[in-house]
Amino acid sequence: MQLELKQQPLTEIEAELLVTFLTPDLLETHPHKEVLSRAGFKAESDSICALHAHSLVVVGIDNFEADTIRSATATMIKAIKAYSYKSAKLFQYNQENTFALVEGILLGEYSFNDYKSDPKKSELKNIYLSNDNFNAEELDQKRLLEDYNSALVIAKATNFTRDLVNTIPNDMTPQALAVVARDLADENNLECTILDEHALEQENMNAMLAVGRASVHKPRLIHLTYKPHNPQFTLSLVGKGLTYDSGGMSLKPATSMVTMKMDKAGACAVLGMMKAVSELKLPIEVHGLIGAAENMVNGNAYKPDDVLTSKNGKTIEVRNTDAEGRLVLADVLTYTQEKIKSDYIFDFATLTGACMVALGQYTTGVMGHSHRLKHQFFQASVDSGELVASLPFNRHLKKLIKSEIADICNVASKPYGGAITAALFLESFIDENMKDKWLHFDIAGSAYSESSWDCNNYGATGAGVRLTIEWMRQQLNEPTN
């Protein structure tokens, strides 16, 4: 499917289908009000009605806010994909909605068919957006075009992330992820360094190596760099890249293991962000660092009771091999702080089931010391449409990861607050001078879903990409930064 922004009034655009959004108020004055009400259409949020005789599809909305438009557009696109129209056209719905329309279309239309021998094909080939506003209000055309182009880049990067996460563990091994990163680097002019298991040994990344030791697919550290000419600041993005998480010796129950190909979603989000930031040419130096490993079982597997010496010398008592993401991230965070002078470090990880228990499936948990940074992300959340909520640290929870025999334990001694204790484990690997510059994003719930919601369909959502790119764009608009 091809999306195009036409520099033409809607009436002049040739398309087989017209799509219109209607609030209950607008429905009152609609020329087809009678027939729409006979069809039971009340312009309720996300309801949809097709008047095929008029080549018209109407979509109900409560208001013209971006969130509403994004999700209604996604609902609409899923519905009209099933019809046999070849083309459709739609208006703008005010200056702020361009992002929502483009994202609704591209993200709503997404499906992952790599493993289907005969995937359902849609007849829909072209979608045209008009630069006309629905109520003939003048729009700033320069801004419209800029927003359209940026939204396209960001939505495509999100779908790129989704594709990677959805790819099965047998195909997307740590090595394969490294190849994807190298290809992205070649295409987008990024620097790329890959550390194989021998290089990881040289770097003393023993915690990460232990996690990957029982797999035939050995771990990789991936480091991509985007260096524009005059960067305003330096940002490091760290991703958990467990290409499969069986739990290791602390083996997951069979039903919990299904979907664990998504344990690389943090890494894939980082790759999506590197793609977007380089295509948007943002003046920020961005490093993407990925710890890729597979958590498996064999005679050489790391075990509960082991003590690992991490890259920064801290010893870790392993009490549960399923709490592996924090071990990988500990070493990658140390590596990041050793090699890069960052103004900010953000890590993204499908780290804990506890985060889903705390916040539900749709919300990313944000943790860190800096209220200022968290506040900025709340704003980015509102403007990107990704949901976030903060989970607060406290010193009592911190005590729960003390170990009797090593410097720290990889699981807490009590079962509550697991998302926070996992983040506090990571926090203990953040240098004193970086404590206020680091945030952790737990995307365990938000990265993957087996049912569709908002502009997401079955499978990976690309969580983190839209949010973080929006944060970057907002920093560049802030004169104080």
Active site residues per annotation: 252, 326
Check: CB of residue 225 under 8 Å from CB of residue 308.
Answer: no
Of these, 109, 163, 245, 470, which contacts Zn ion (CB under 5 A)? Answer: 245
3-state secondary structure 19-81: EEEECHHHHHCCCCHHHHHHCCCCCCCCCEEEEHHHCEEEEECCCCCHHHHHHHHHHHHHHHH
Q: Judged by CB under 5 A, does residue 470 bind Zn ion?
A: no
Q: Which is nearer to ligand BES, 130 or 250 (CB)?
A: 250
Q: How far is the CB of 208 from ligand BES (least distance, A)?
A: 14
Q: How far is the CB of 49 from ligand BES (least distance, A)?
A: 37
Q: From CA 366, how far away is CA 273, in angstroms rounded?
A: 17
Q: Judged by CB under 5 A, does residue 325 bind Zn ion?
A: yes
Token digits for 380?
Answer: 């980015």
Q: Which is nearer to ligand BES, 94 or 452 (CB)?
A: 452
Q: How far is the CB of 319 from ligand BES (least distance, A)?
A: 9
Decide which of Zn ion, ligand BES, none touches 352; Cβ closer than 5 to 8 Å per partner kind.
Answer: ligand BES
The 110-149 contact track toward Zn ion, x by CB under 5 A, reads ----------------------------------------
Check: CB of residue 149 under 8 Å from CB of residue 142.
Answer: no
Decide which of Zn ion, ligand BES, none touches 353; Cβ closer than 5 to 8 Å per partner kind.
Answer: ligand BES
Q: Judged by CB under 5 A, does residue 322 bind Zn ion?
A: yes
Decide which of Zn ion, ligand BES, none touches 304; Cβ closer than 5 to 8 Å per partner kind.
Answer: none
Q: Give the Å distances, CA to CA, from 471 to 1, 151, 277, 292, 376.
A: 29, 14, 11, 25, 7
Q: From CA 388, how far away is CA 394, in angstroms rounded?
A: 19
Q: How far is the CB of 260 from Zn ion (least distance, A)?
A: 7
Q: How far is the CB of 203 from ligand BES (least distance, A)?
A: 23
Residue numbers at the binding site for ligand BES (CB under 6 A): 245, 263, 320, 322-325, 350-354, 411, 418, 444
Q: How far is the CB of 443 from ligand BES (least distance, A)?
A: 8
Decide which of ligand BES, Zn ion, none touches 288; Cβ closer than 5 to 8 Å per partner kind.
Answer: none
3-state helix, strand, coil in the chain (%, to 5): 40, 20, 40
Q: Judged by CB under 5 A, does residue 294 bind Zn ion?
A: no
Q: From CA 73, how far away is CA 97, in angstroms rounded?
A: 11
The 11-40 contact track toward Zn ion, x by CB under 5 A, reads ------------------------------
CA-based nearest residue to 301, from 318, 279, 280:
318
Token digits for 90?
Answer: 């739609």
Q: Judged by CB under 5 A, does residue 263 bind Zn ion?
A: yes
Check: CB of residue 445 under 8 Å from CB of residue 463.
Answer: no
DSSP state of 435: G
Check: CB of residue 276 under 8 Å from CB of residue 466.
Answer: no
The contact set with Zn ion (CB under 5 A) reads 242, 245, 263, 322, 324-325
